[in-house]
Structures are given as structure tokens and as C-alpha cells.
Structure 1
Amino acid sequence: MIDDLDARMIALFTAEPRIGVLEASRRLGVARGTVQARLDRLSRHGVIRGFGPQIDPAALGYGVTAFVTLQIRQPGGHDPVAERLAGVPEVIEAHTITGAGDMLCRVVARSNQDLQRVIDMIVAVRGVERASSVISLATQVPYRTLPLVAAAAGTENAPEPGRGRGIGGVPANDGAL
């Protein structure tokens, strides 16, 4: 699906999301049209979902991260609950899961006391029967995709964030595209 050039290009745009197509082509040693065509293809196929800034909730005052497992009323289904959860700003992710719960949400709050308010809002969502939460103490492996990109491309030198160079010599600090 992707090759080494795609992987190097993704790594470059991850490390420097504001770099232009012309500068990227110069650094990658390929034509500008090649970079643009590959970006278009990767975007069209959903490999690259965007080029927006990566936001740190803690820098916005939301220093507490928690994972909330929800049990929902099955007859109503997951989709209506997910739509309602999208209305709670502190819910930054929600996934349908297997196992003891039905949905797993990553939430942020300003403090532990504020987390109670957020959980109360979640439990008040129609269709949610029960919630169980755990507070994250530290992020051991931050969200990353570059090692996955390297594996998909068959690149041997999978990048490790914060550990030198990544794919094709591009710095390996990973983030959202």
C-alpha cells in the first residue's frame, strides 16, 4: 500500500507539518509533482487524514486524563450514544470495544474534582447505564504512527520518537498529521 518514499514523505510532514511541497520535494530528492501526487493519493485513501496542529490538552488547562469504560443500553445501540458523547467537549475519543464494557472513552479534565463533573455529564447521556474510570498517571508511550508507517512500508529502520533519526534520515518526533 505504501513504499519507502511514501514512508519518508509521511515522516517528513509529521516532523515538519508546515513544510511546503516544494521544500519537501527538494529534501526527498524527487519532483514536486511526485510529492503532490503521492500526498493526494495518501489523502484520498485515508492514510493521511489531515495536517492540523497537534493540541496538548494539558497546555489548555486540562491536566487530568482518564479512561472511562461505559456500559450502554443495547437496544438503543452505540451510534446514538456516541453522537451524544460528541457533545461533551472533554470526551476526546470514544471507541466501541469488546470485553466487559461497551465503549471506552478518553476524557480530560482540569482536576480530579472536575473529572467528577465530566463523568457526571457522561453518565447523564441517554443510553449510558454505568461508567467505570481509571486516571492516567503518566503517558509511557504517546500516540504515535511512524513505527506503523515504517512497518507498512517494510522499512527496517522504524523510527522511535525522541531517539535520533527516523525513516530515511527524517527526525522521528511523531505527531498527528
Structure 2
Amino acid sequence: MAFDRLDGRIIVLLAEEPRIGVLEMSRRLGVARGTVQARLDRLQSNGVIRGFGPQVDPAALGYPVTAFATLQIRQGQGPDVRAHLAGVPEVLELLTTTGSGDMLCRLVARSNADLQRVIDRVVGFDGIVRASTTIVMENPVPLRIIPLVEQAARDSEGTWRETQGHGPTSG
């Protein structure tokens, strides 16, 4: 999919002001409303923008403890383990991995003591052979996408310039 500077500016503006309307966005970006709407539709249909929902802080909901659990899964039990973990509300994210474990879970809990309850529920499934848990102490760089969006927009601009015979761009 082609991704350019305007796409990047649209995403950055949406991240900064998620409730902005298409008309106001077009005004600020200096492009037609139809252009912004077409870009948004394309970014959504290509999976670049996956949603417009609120960002919720688990700590503000009463779940201030975050941990990661690396799970080793019994051969052939992956689908059953996935289904089990999808049923645990405190499992915020599940990734399959390479390395010492097969899956990595992001968990939240109400306290360190409550984390034990969550871990017991996670590993209390026959398909999980072993688990190793790490508690998050601080999150100095929260999950972020905007620096990557900005880099992708810069990269696409450089690629465009190179295809036009202008050579690589700096900075």
C-alpha cells in the first residue's frame, strides 16, 4: 500500500485529536474534505487504521499492576490455550513468540496479591506446561505508534524522490 506524508499527517492529527471531524481535519491539512475521507477509507480498508475507540488506562479502572507471562505450551494445544486465555479478562494481549516460550501474555491485576489469582487462572489449564512471569515496574515509553508513522511518511517521501530521479533525501 502506498503511504505518504498526507497519510502520516492524517494519522498524527487523529492521534492528537481523536474526536476531530473530517471537515475540520481537511481545513487544518489544507486539502479537500473528499480527499481526507478517501484517505481515511483507504487507510482503514488496508488495515493501517484499525479503529477509533478510546484508549483506556487499566490502572484507572483499578488494575495498576501489569505483568508479562511467558508460556510454554504443550504440543498441539495452541488453539485450546488461546481460547482459554481469551476468556480471562485480565489478559490484555496474547502474542505467539519464538525463543524460550511459545506465547507472551500481557496481564493486569488489582494488586500483587491479585496477580497471583490471575496467574493461577492463566496457568490453570492443562495445555500450559510452564510459565514465567515478570512484573512491570515502570513504563517509561508507553506503546506508541506516531514516531513510526512519521518515519514511514519520511521514508515514503524519500522513496518517491528516488523514483523521480532526485536521489536519496537527507534527514
TM-score range, shorter chain: 0.7 to 0.9
Aligned length, in residue pairs: 155
Letter in 2 for 1:80: D
- The answer to whether the 8 Å contact 1:69/1:101 transfers is yes
Structure 1 residue 28 corresponds to structure 2 residue 11: no
Matched position secondary structure for 2:76: helix
Correspondence for 2:19: 18
How do 1:85-100 residues align onto structure 2 when only pairs under 5 Å count? 85-100=85-100
CA apart distance, 1:17: 0.7
- The answer to whether the 8 Å contact 1:85/1:125 transfers is no
TM-score in terms of structure 2 length? 0.88
Structure 1 residue 102 corresponds to structure 2 residue 102: yes
Correspondence for 2:120: 120
Q: Which has the larger radius of gyration?
A: 2
Identity, % of aligned positions: 66
Measured in 1, the distance between the counterparts of 2:153 and 2:27 equals 21
Report Cα offsets for 1:55-93 as digits up to 9, x if no partner.
Answer: 0000000000000000110122x2321121010000000
Report Cα offsets for 1:100-157 as digits up to 9, x if no partner.
Answer: 011000000000000000000001134111111010000011000011111111169x
Q: What is the root-mean-square deviation of aligned Cα atoms in Å?
A: 1.3
Correspondence for 1:82: 82
Correspondence for 1:168: none
Measured in 1, the distance between the counterparts of 2:126 and 2:152 equals 40
- The answer to whether the 8 Å contact 1:97/1:103 transfers is yes
Higher helix share: 2
C-alpha change, 1:139 and 1:94, in structure 2 (3 Å) is same
Structure 1 residue 143 corresponds to structure 2 residue 143: yes
